[in-house]
Structure 1
Amino acid sequence: MEKNIGWHGDTRLASASERTPLLTASRTVETEPRDQRNSKAHFIIIMLALGFLYLLYAACQASPTPRDDTNCRWQHDAPSYEVAKPSGSTVLNINIKSNTTIRPSIPEDFPDPCVVQGDDGDWYAFATSGNGHKIQMAKAKDPLGQWELIDREAIANQAWTTYRNFWAPDVRRVADGYVMYFSGQEPVTMRHCVGVARSPNITGPYVLDEEAFECPLTQGGAIDPSGFQDVETGKMYVVWKVDGNAVASGPGCGGDLGEEGGTPLMLQEVSPLDGSTRIGDAVAILDRVEEEDGPLVEAPNLVRALDGRFVLFYSTHCFSTPEYDVRYAWADDVRGPYHRAPRLLGTPDFGFEGPGGMTSTVGRNERGLGEVLLLHGRCAEANGGGGGRCLFAVPYGLAVEE
């Protein structure tokens, strides 16, 4: 809402005799002393200056990407956050539908996969940089079927990134085609930020927006974006991780962040027309707890259950360790509070080592929980036998405890 700021003084019009000193034979008449007129003029100037400064301040606060003068980049610092605490709720259980070892769907390095169904009815997966591509792509008739790599580059331009080290893409439909959320490397700090790219075709090429969508560099950056559209309300959201691990004391993923916090999962409502125009402020919906999660929570992915509740998949611990896993939490409101469930999938369940970085299919009827999680797990056969993170497809189902 715009505020009109002005000064309302005396609007009375002075007569000619009031405006001009009157000279007579006996005396000189002045309407007001000179000092008083100067004081009024000074007051008007001060009020106009204050109004101008207020308008500048309001414009700055309204901007979704305030200027960061320390590195000459436009960025949006994550707000201070507090995760809501859950109260009692009916338990929501998710079960893996398998009784045997689950083998890779793509026996190649294909980490942090997302999955989306195209207009042609086929399923498409996108993954972190690798195998000679900035963003990897694959295609299948069925998520649980055979996947084939698409030997084509998905990214069309560099924009604000280093043009390498793209992580964890996520593709969603919007009004005029497809939008890709991704983690791109910022060239000054070399930290990662969330970006947006667009294409009328599901396989691209995707053209990057010129500025990052979310870039809280002082807090470590932002990674692992994922889109979600609520089919009940039509509202669209983006979730991501604030990458506090990038600024933790100590080397690597396991640097000291203290006992709690530091890697919150954030939720931002956006316009479903373009997938990036912000609506309101971002909120934190989950953060790490040291005794359960180790140094982080990451890789958020939202879906909605048939009973109307929201399910948040996420991973904990460092991706390079056997403790990396798949977990979930549920909530009655998309903004939380979220109830944590026990670990869903980890080492050595179904033959997995370090499974995580997952995305759920959306149900084939466009509603409710999907049927398959696409995720990565460590595998020896990737990279010509040198090992890596292969693509796996894991069927799952929902059970509600009364």
Structure 2
Amino acid sequence: MNGLWSRLRSPSKPSIRSAEAECGADQGINPLKSPDSASLSESSIRDAGPWTRGKILTLSILAFFALTLIVVAVTVPVLLVKRNRSHDDPSYHDAANRPVQVLSDFPDPGLLHVNNTWYTYGTNAAKNDSEVPHVPVATATVFNSWTRLEDHDAMPSLSSWETKINHYAPDVIQRDDGRFVLYYSGELKDWLYHHCVGVAVSNGTNPAGPFMPQSKPLACPRNQGGAIDPSPFRDVDGKLYVVYKADANSIGHGGDCNNGKKPVLAVPILLQELEADGVTPVGNPVQILQNDKSDGPLVEAPNILRTPQGIYYLFFSSHCFTSPKYNVKYAYATSLKGPYTRANRPLLKTGDFDLISPGGATVSRDGTKMVFHANCGKLRCLYAAAITIHANSTITPSSL
């Protein structure tokens, strides 16, 4: 602007040397050595100077931003990948720790170890088929090799309050008299597609049953949508408990697992103390966990373990079982009733060892082994795995 203003004020011509220098400087050429600069007309110099500088400035700015975008596009994903990898324990990248698929179509497994034999009890996965076992059973003497007891039903007869289908997430514990108690989710006849926690006691001392159900549900909070996913626990003092999920998402407002639309309902995990018979409640249930934003529409499939060091671990799943976000999480506390501190990372999630939607985990009483299900095509298959519980309360995969 200063040069243009001086031209307007004075009719005198600028010196060719000044014009040459200005033009040469704009083009990155030394004007003293340019043979063609003297042949440029005064008008072309006057017009080209300011516009050339503006164009160069504009192009420089555009080039700078383009280069910046390229650098960001290249480096940010690399940094994120490195960051994500750095948050994973090396155990997740060790093929020896890969869970073993042992059965097909066996979701929500419970787990029991008696007389050197492992037992697992699964969800009745056949939709609306009353001819399949209400509670299927599989056994193993080696933890990575399981056999389904074909056509065996651990609970062949049912109580009057439940339908003949849709029995979910059974689990078993042995009580002091040697008999076994089975906890399960039964569908209500008078409120279809909603469940309550049922309880059944074995006729003898066979962990595979048969189990005879009680006449009434053990837990049935209808104002919270009912209850599912019971898991028994015996504390160090011998007291019995059952932990389960209040099925509040079943009365939600739609969306993901019927609780993805606002207002999203609170879905609690409840702990109920029991008498020594394993079927009689003591007092009222206590809430020990609830879904938060990181859990999506729900938390479910609770299971409790106590280590010899006195730390309680609550294993659970979050998000909808139909979602790739479904996972196995855990939290820990120094008291059975909490408060529980959530771990920073799920124990298992989609992508770990190429698993898809792992969930519904149950851990052995010694805290070294685990069964869970994960998607395998259109089915949910049973997996066996090993874990290591560390002194800092983190848990990582291990080798069977």
Name the TM-score, length of structure 2 as normaliser.
0.70
1:2-401 maps to which residues of 2 (within 5 A)? 99-100=94-95, 101-106=98-103, 108-118=104-114, 120-130=115-125, 132-143=132-143, 145-151=144-150, 152-159=152-159, 160-176=161-177, 177-190=179-192, 191-199=194-202, 200=204, 201-230=206-235, 232-251=236-255, 253-256=257-260, 258=262, 262-271=266-275, 273-290=276-293, 292-342=294-344, 343-363=346-366, 370-380=367-377, 387-401=378-392
Cα 1:126–1:310, aligned 2, differ >3 Å: closer, same or farther?
same
Query: Counterparts of 1:94 and 1:347 in 2: how far apart (Å)?
Result: 16
Q: Give the C-alpha shift of residue 98 in structure 1.
A: 7.4
Cα 1:239–1:95, aligned 2, differ >3 Å: closer, same or farther?
farther
8 Å contact from structure 1 (residues 95, 398) kept in 2: no
Q: Give the C-alpha shift of residue 135 in structure 1.
A: 1.1
Amino acid aligned to 1:250:
G
Q: Give the C-alpha shift of residue 379 in structure 1.
A: 0.4
Amino acid aligned to 1:123:
W
8 Å contact from structure 1 (residues 122, 140) kept in 2: yes
Query: Counterparts of 1:146 and 1:229 in 2: how far apart (Å)?
Result: 27
SS in 2 for 1:246: helix
Q: Give the C-alpha shift of residue 219 in structure 1.
A: 1.6
8 Å contact from structure 2 (residues 99, 386) kept in 1: no
Query: Counterparts of 1:325 and 1:97 in 2: how far apart (Å)?
Result: 15
Amino acid aligned to 1:124:
Y
Q: Give the C-alpha shift of residue 276 in structure 1.
A: 1.8
Q: Give the C-alpha shift of residue 261 in structure 1.
A: 5.2
Bigger RCO (CA 8 Å, 6+ sep): 1
Name the TM-score, length of structure 1 as normaliser.
0.69
Amino acid aligned to 1:209:
Q
8 Å contact from structure 2 (residues 253, 262) kept in 1: no
Cα 1:95–1:246, aligned 2, differ >3 Å: closer, same or farther?
farther
How high is the sequence identity, in percent, across the aligned residues? Answer: 38
Q: Give the C-alpha shift of residue 142 in structure 1.
A: 2.6
Unaligned runs of 5+ in 2: 1-87, 127-131, 394-400
SS in 2 for 1:400: coil
Bigger Cα Rg: 2
Q: Partner residue of 2:44?
A: none
**Corresponding residue pairs, total:** 292
SS in 2 for 1:357: strand
8 Å contact from structure 2 (residues 259, 265) kept in 1: no
